[in-house]
Chains A and B, each alone.
Chain A
Amino acid sequence: MKIDIVIAGVGGQGNVLMSRILARAAMEAGLAVRTSEVIGMAQRGGPVTSQVRMGDALYGGLIPDRQADIILGLELAETVRVLPKLKPGGRVITSSTSLVPVSVAVGLSTYDREALLQYLQTMTSRPVIFDAVSLALQVGNARAANVVLLGALSTLPVLPFSPETLMRCCLESIPAQFQSINQKAFELGRRIMEVD
């Protein structure tokens, strides 16, 4: 058994924390884990990719191309950017959030939301795309969008740990005053997948 997960987003979205939560859940399930990310310059609004590997025969922290079982996305364009990591038949769960960088405003690049959405829908099987930020706002804090995504992820049957374990690891990794918001965020994420 081995599961490779890539988390894509922009600095400041809580991407690295998600990788730690997933790693803790895997450890509770008795699995070996590796996570990897690059921080520093990338933190300041740059693209941030975290990688989480759990299970047997773990070598390094880096997932090879076309090997990831799951891609979790906090931002639409960043999700598309990491798609070469997804294995054929792998699942994508992403927020439809668009964070348009300053480079677009000053004419150095473009952000074609429709093209990105269409690409995701046609090039991956059964992608789950929803606005995790509005859902997080419904429970009271836009910053809980990452936990909404973890809630959605927890419904996938391939995971080696239970949704309860994942939620507990979530809550244990978050300051006490935000626990009730995050618990609701996790539940909302789960409900999205029931509809799907």
Chain B
Amino acid sequence: MVNLPVKLLMGNEAIAYGALEAGVQVATAYPGTPASEIFSTLAELAKEYGFYAEWSVNEKVALEVAAGAAYAGARAIVSMKQVGLNVAADPLMTLAYIGVKGGLVLAVADDPGPHSSQNEQDTRKFAQFAKLPVLDPASPAEAKEMTKAAFELSEKLSLPVILRPTTRTCHVCQDVPVGERIPRQTRVYFQKDPGWTIMPGLAARRHPWLNAQQEKAREFFNGSPFNQAIIRNRVGIITSGVSFNYVQEALDLLEQEASILKIGTPYPLPDRVVLNFLGQVDRVLVVEEQEPVVEDQVIALAWKNKLGVTISGKHDCLVPREGEFDVDKVKDMLTTFFGLAPSVATRPQLPPLPLRTPVLCAGCPHRASFYAFKQAAAGQDAVFTGDIGCYTLGVIPPLNTVDTCLCMGASVTIATGLARVEPARKHVAFLGDSTFFHTGLPGLVNAVYNQADITLVVLDNRTTAMTGFQPHPGLGRTALDQVTKQLDIVKIAAACGVELVCEVDPYDLATAKQVARKAIAFPGPAVVIMKRECVHLVPKRSVFRVNVNNCVNCKICLEEFGCPAITLDGEQVMITDNCSGCGVCAQVCPVAAIEEVQL
């Protein structure tokens, strides 16, 4: 065993290093928590090792670019979060029929909890649906090994392979041994063949092949080191992904012993491994986060083989199918399963704690944009549709300017739909700059083509802020920091046929309000681009303070504008060091009591 250098790696970084070691040649992604760092690490490595890497405009595009590379025999990785896979679902379902030549790995991060997502969907179900093998890492070190194995498997089966880490693998750091990049010998060349062109006839022929590949994948997984049984006694626990860690620790805490089967490859389930385990136990508890993917397959297998073993889990409500697990939750599940007396230790009664929701940062230009539109629409019964990004936080009081949020790009289409059925109301859709390119654009084209009376506000803060400041086509900069074409949202909107397109600085509140009023009043689709860099991208120039002699304590700055830098000192409104110097509060103040202090 060679002594490899050990690095402290986050699970996402470990996946990137796994891809590097496997000789990845193309990496694509669209950012999304908890997956973003997979690609940002790959982009750094791409600069160093010279492979191709791009932030794509959305997940469907990212998957298709990666698939093209894999058609030619290159190894490609595409990363996204669970909801991103929905955007990429269309190519994915057919890609399974077409197959790939070079290894194609989809790293799709799930977010049970959910900490930073609009749903808790289980990518393992998606893998089953698409008939693609899926690997479920329990730790960063395992995520790295599984990434390498996924490339191998993808080439052996000619199928894309899904790696599905969850938040507690993605954002856990571990000491991980890191090896060298293994250069690939395969010639990258797209070999023309009718098999690359899906037609009904080809789809019909490939479906039996795809089904047969399920059994081949199962065979590989039967021999995979990622599935391991530890036999201790006749009580068994089958567990998958991060739950494996919680099961081990909870057993220690409870001072209990059980046989454990760790499943690293939840679909297709390694049947021989599971049957062998089931034969050595009398009863089994299946512990997995989210959907009963392993459990359903275990039940089917036991039934088919007429095994008398009792199987507990989600179907008898011992294991929840919602939310994230932790050691304490798994300990409770095991306590019930073992029939132990529940622990008497209760959580301490804490004093009342402040409600601390995430908020738009102090000086965030989005706050000014929301405020301007709210003021401009005052008295008009307007509906504000929202989208995915920092600006979803416009829903938080006191702004309350997000009435809907569904998925990337839906603000414009939901507004369009609402406008069809309530023509007397005004509909204002908010969308970020990255989201505009992601899936906002088709919605805008649709609104123009079908002449919907909506206002689309592009909150252009010159970055993809929520996920960590990634670039997009509006910035003139690639993932590798190279200068590229800068796509102008004003020109694009105009080219789409929008007749009223305005660009305004949200920090200039008076002009912003004026433009907002004009856009809302405009019959037919209008686009307003609220352009101002994210407060984290620019150094602080000055700060503002409350001149207590002028302040009448009306609290408009605090209670209506709601900047987190504005607080109360006793009864007096004051501005904290948190101030970024945007100066919008000074414009909000009706008595000119907020003034600038130069740094």
Contact = CB atoms under 8 A, between A and B. Distances in A.
A195 interface: no
A116 B353 CA distance: 8
Contact of B356 (A23, A57, A103): A103
Nearest to B325: A62
Contacts of B567: 100, 105
A36 B33 CA distance: 14
Q: Which residue, of B348, B351, B352, B566, has the highest number of chain A Cβ atoms within 10 A? A: B351
Contacts of A63: 327
Nearest to A75: B356
Interface string B520-538: 0000000000000000000
Contact of A37 (B171, B246, B249, B348): B171
A60 B251 CA distance: 13
A90 interface: no
B562 A84 contact: no
30 contacts: A24-B8, A33-B173, A36-B168, A42-B116, A44-B360, A44-B361, A45-B564, A46-B356, A57-B252, A60-B138, A60-B139, A60-B168, A60-B172, A60-B246, A60-B249, A64-B328, A80-B351, A80-B353, A81-B353, A83-B348, A84-B347, A100-B354, A101-B356, A102-B398, A102-B563, A105-B559, A106-B398, A110-B352, A110-B354, A123-B348
Report whether over half of chain B's contact residues are helix, strand or loop; otherwise say mixed.
loop
Given A61-B173, A64-B328, A102-B396, 13 more contacts: A24-B8, A35-B173, A38-B34, A39-B33, A40-B466, A47-B356, A60-B138, A60-B168, A61-B174, A62-B327, A105-B566, A105-B568, A111-B354
Interface residues of B, number: 59
B397 interface: yes
Given A34-B174, A64-B327, A40 B33 contact: yes
Contact of B245 (A12, A45, A60, A81): A60
Contact of A106 (B116, B390, B562): B562
A59 B347 CA distance: 23
B172 A35 contact: yes
Given A40-B115, A59-B249, A11 B358 contact: yes
A45 B361 contact: yes
Nearest to B364: A44
A115 B351 contact: yes
Q: Which residue, of A65, A80, A84, has the highest number of chain B Cβ atoms within 10 A? A: A65
B374 interface: no
Interface string B75-114: 0000000000000000000000000000000000000010
Interface in B328-378: 328, 331, 345, 347-348, 350-361
Nearest to B10: A35
| Nearest 6 A/B pairs, CB to CB | A40-B33, A60-B245, A40-B116, A61-B172, A46-B358, A109-B355
A41 B354 contact: no
Nearest to A81: B353
B508 interface: no
A77 interface: yes
Contact of B562 (A10, A27, A102): A102
Q: Which residue, of A11, A20, A33, A62, has the highest number of chain B Cβ atoms within 10 A? A: A62
B248 interface: yes
Contacts of A179: none
Contacts of B577: 142
B558 interface: yes
A15 to B, nearest CB: 13
B175 interface: yes
A56 B34 CA distance: 27
Contacts of A123: 348
Q: Which residue, of A46, A57, A61, has the highest number of chain B Cβ atoms within 10 A? A: A61
A104 interface: yes
Given A33-B175, A46-B357, A64-B328, A59 B466 contact: no
A59 B246 contact: yes
Contacts of A38: 34, 113, 115-116, 167, 171
Given A24-B8, A33-B173, A102-B398, A59 B358 contact: no
Nearest to A84: B347
A112 interface: yes
Contacts of A66: 345
Nearest to A31: B175
A119 B173 contact: no
Interface of B: 6, 8, 33-34, 113, 115-116, 138-139, 167-168, 171-175, 242, 245-246, 248-250, 252-253, 326-328, 331, 345, 347-348, 350-361, 390, 393, 396-398, 466-467, 558-559, 562-564, 566-568, 577
Contacts of B355: 101, 103-104, 108-109
A1 to B, nearest CB: 15
Nearest to A54: B175
Contact of B393 (A44, A83, A109, A119): A44
Contacts of A11: 358
Nearest to A82: B350
B262 to A, nearest CB: 12
A63 B563 CA distance: 34
Contacts of B250: 64
B567 to A, nearest CB: 6
Contacts of B357: 46, 101, 103
A178 to B, nearest CB: 15
A32 interface: yes
Nearest to B326: A62
Nearest to B566: A105
Given A46-B357, A64-B249, A33 B174 contact: yes
B467 to A, nearest CB: 7
Nearest to B536: A12
A101 B168 CA distance: 27
Nearest to B390: A44
Given A23-B173, A59-B249, A60-B246, A42 B8 contact: no
Given A41-B466, A102-B564, A106-B398, A84 B348 contact: yes
B228 to A, nearest CB: 15
A80 B357 CA distance: 16
A142 B543 CA distance: 15
Contacts of A112: 351-352
B359 A101 contact: yes
A57 B250 CA distance: 12
Contacts of A109: 352-355
